[in-house]
Amino acid sequence: MKIITIIGARPQFIKAAVVSHTFSSMPGNIHEVLIHTGQHYDSNMSKVFFDELNILAPSYNLAIGGGTHGQNTGRMIEKIEAVLLKERPDWVLVYGDTDSTLAGAIAAVKLHIPIAHVEAGLRSFNRRMPEELNRVLTDHTADLLFTPTDIASQNLMNEGISLRQIHQVGDVMYDAALFYAERAKEHSSILKQLDISSKSYVLATVHRAENTDNPIRLRSILDGFAASQTSIIWPLHPRTRDKISDYSLKLPDNILIIEPLGYLDMVMLERHASVIATDSGGVQKEAYFYGVPCVTLRDETEWVELVNCGMNSLVGTDSDKIANLLSIPSMPVEYTDSLYGDGKASQAIASALINY
């Protein structure tokens, strides 16, 4: 069986890593061909992940990035289609909710190639988010939908998708958290490099267009960070850095700006933070995996179960709420059963594809 996997952004590298490792442990059953669209093309945003996660170099690097959503998606569809016509795979496997995800799904469905979508069924119910449109459209082109949670499965059924297409496998990000935890502990020296101690800082990430493309929202986030008077470490996304400069915003003195990190260093900072402030979907879950309270800088989240269990606080960009929750982080909620499966989602995915 030949599977073409399409990835292009940091969270997808992590998800694909554990699934690809599972595929490679099944010799003779699955031949995987990897396409990297180039959506994240900076070395710190891309190459370091392939090195750290021990992912094989992509068979195809399309080098598409830096444009608008429409430009990127259109160029990706054209180049992905050419690869699919050459390779003639049995399946196209896509992850998450990026432009790369949607481009892969559109290229495949037009050629009548079956599509499998990992992390299907997530909904923020905010159609102004590019990610929401990407995930909805991808779900409705896919033949196999691998969902991480009960809520995600129910969302698909509510939209009329057949139950036989839905496979609730758990979350591959949880697989990755378990798989790479010890490697991060052994190989990351980021705490020593930054001269910080465990639980002495807040970790922040901000990159979503709804925040970075709106100077009022971005300023409010910075005001909340400043008012918290806590030590904040912020691996700054290149796009966010540009927007701060474009809007002539001032970074508060209590923020330490660092370059984007590889996965292992990011895991260590997440595990040892007192609280995490983010607008990332993946980081919300990783905070939960490591028992760290999360303050989500969005008006809604597709990971509603984290809010329901008390590990995640939705604050939008309300500077007062941000400051209060970062200053006095809530105590982590103890849990015994993971909301995201048993850490064997990748094996379930491989089995479903082989036995389809």
Annotation says 272 is catalytic:
no
Give me the residue label for tokens 């054209």: 78
Beta strands in the chain, from DSSP E residues, in sequence order: 2-7, 31-36, 60-61, 91-95, 115-118, 144-147, 166-168, 202-205, 232-235, 255-258, 275-278, 294-296, 312-314
* DSSP per-residue codes, 306-323: HHHTTSEEE-TT-HHHHH
Catalytic choice (40, 117, 207, 272): 207
Give the residue carrying structure tokens 């960009």.
Answer: 317
E strand or H helix at 205:
strand 202-205
Q: Which residues contact 234 (CB under 8 A, 6 or more apart)?
A: 203, 204, 205, 206, 255, 256, 257, 258
Q: Residue 96 carries which DSSP code?
A: T
344 vs 167: CA distance, rounded Å: 13
Distance CA 160, CA 54 (A): 39
For helices 10-24 and 345-355, the axis angle rounded to 10 degrees is 60
The residues pairing with 257 across neighbouring beta strands, listed in sequence order, are 234
Positive or negative, the Cα torsion across 107, 17, 306, 340? Answer: positive
Q: Catalytic residue numbers?
A: 207
